[in-house]
């Protein structure tokens, strides 16, 4: 399911693993949450990079954000809820409402700046889904 690296991080940091069935209850219990959608670690080399960075982001914000990892079997269904188009992705929520996402791997300073900007926003609906560049179905304009 998860890479051995991420599994060890989940256990060491005591990070919740969420599914479609338990996510809403978890979100009700935590004010600000970051959800980690890993994608297929065997296909996406960035997945393990973000796995290492994820708990460091949480620590950098001194307990303000509660981390959770999305179970691989629930990723696609929950991706439809938050409308992001790339893996790995971090989805930030406040009181269960969408704040923003960070997709793929970035430099450390970019994570801190982006996370700060996302956390300063008011909740909103996720932006409309956009196909990744070069992946739109024939005849569909982006």
Burial 24-57 (b: 16+ CB within 10 A, else e): eebbeebebbbbbbbbebeebebbbebbebbbeb
**Domain CATH for 10:** 3.40.30.10
Look up the domain containing 76 and give its range.
Answer: 4-119
- 125 in any annotated domain: no
CA-wise closest residue to 39 among 78, 75, 80, 83: 75
Q: What is the pTM of this model?
A: 0.90
CB atoms within 10 A of CB 96: 15
Number of domains in the chain: 1
Name the strands in the sheet holding 66-70, side by side, starting at the edge strand that comes first in the sequence.
16-18, 66-70, 32-37, 89-94, 97-103
| pLDDT tens digits along 62-112 | 989 999 999 999 999 999 999 999 999 999 999 999 999 999 999 999 999
Asked whether residue 54 carries a pLDDT value surpassing 80, the answer given is yes
Nearby residues of 103 by Cβ (< 8 Å), 6 or more positions away: 84, 85, 86, 87, 88, 89, 90
- 98 in any annotated domain: yes
Q: How far apart (Å, rounded) are the C-alpha atoms in residues 26 and 91?
A: 14
Q: What is the pLDDT of residue 99?
A: 98
- 56 in any annotated domain: yes
Confidence category of residue 133, pLDDT binned at 50, 70, 90: low
């Amino acid at each position: 399911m998860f890479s051995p690296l991420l599994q060890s991080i989940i256990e060491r940091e005591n990070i919740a693993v969420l599914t479609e069935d338990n996510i809403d209850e978890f979100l009700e219990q935590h004010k600000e949450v970051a959800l980690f959608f890993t994608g297929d670690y065997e296909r996406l080399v960035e997945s393990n990079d973000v796995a290492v960075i994820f708990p460091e982001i949480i620590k950098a914000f001194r307990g303000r954000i509660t981390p959770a990892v999305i179970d691989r079997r629930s990723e696609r269904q929950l991706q439809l809820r938050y409308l992001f188009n790339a893996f790995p992705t971090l989805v930030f929520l406040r009181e269960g409402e969408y704040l923003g996402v960070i997709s793929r791997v970035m430099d450390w300073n970019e994570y801190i700046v982006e996370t700060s900007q996302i956390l300063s926003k008011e909740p909103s609906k996720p932006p409309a889904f956009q196909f990744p560049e070069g992946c739109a179905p024939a005849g569909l304009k982006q």
